[in-house]
């Protein structure tokens, strides 16, 4: 079983926050909350996290809200790509996305030319 599925929402928030290189204070500031509240989310002291806060946390960490809730199973390739993405700074993330869009377009062209 995927470890992400057995983690709590709080543990997934902590994991994603750390992967993004944000402190609890920085995340709290981004979502209009406090460091103490982020601590409580991450340590499952607050488990009924308001939807607007979950969405804000996910947006701040550049991940889908589904991932925080453990609703999506990812392949090993997806996990690796996300891990690489989260290790990059903002400029390199934009470059990576640009490369991915170019690859997607090339794949479309190749696919269309074989039809």
The yes-or-no verdict on residue 3 having pLDDT over 60 is no
Q: What is the mean pLDDT of residues 50-71?
A: 91
- pLDDT average, residue stretch 26-49: 96
Domain count, the chain: 2
Shared-domain flag, residues 65 and 102: no
Is residue 2 scored above 70 in pLDDT?
Answer: no
Q: What pLDDT shows up at residue 97?
A: 92
pLDDT tens profile 78-97: 778 877 888 889 899 999 99
Say whether both 50 and 80 belong to one domain.
Answer: no
Residue 47, domain extent: 1-72
Instruction: Tell me the three-class secondary structure of the chain, residue by residue.
Output: CCHHHHCCHHHHHHHHHHHHCCCHHHHHHHHCCCHHHHHHHHCCCCCCCCHHHHHHHHHHCCCCHHHHHCCCCCCHHHHHHHHHHHHCCHHHHHHHHHHHHHHHHHHHHHHHHCC
| % of the chain with per-residue pLDDT over 70 | 93
Regarding whether 81 and 47 lie in a shared domain, the answer is: no
Please check whether residues 92 and 41 belong to one and the same domain.
no
């Amino acid at each position: 079983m995927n470890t992400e599925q057995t983690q709590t929402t709080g543990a997934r928030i902590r994991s994603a926050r750390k992967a993004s290189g944000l402190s609890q204070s920085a995340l709290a500031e981004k979502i209009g909350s406090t460091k103490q509240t982020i601590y409580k989310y991450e340590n499952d002291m607050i488990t009924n996290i308001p939807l607007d806060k979950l969405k804000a946390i996910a947006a701040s960490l550049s991940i889908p809200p589904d991932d925080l809730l453990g609703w999506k199973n990812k392949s090993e390739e997806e996990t690796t790509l996300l891990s690489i993405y989260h290790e990059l700074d903002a400029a390199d993330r934009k470059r990576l996305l640009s490369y991915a869009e170019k690859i997607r377009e090339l794949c479309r062209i190749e696919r269309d030319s074989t039809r």
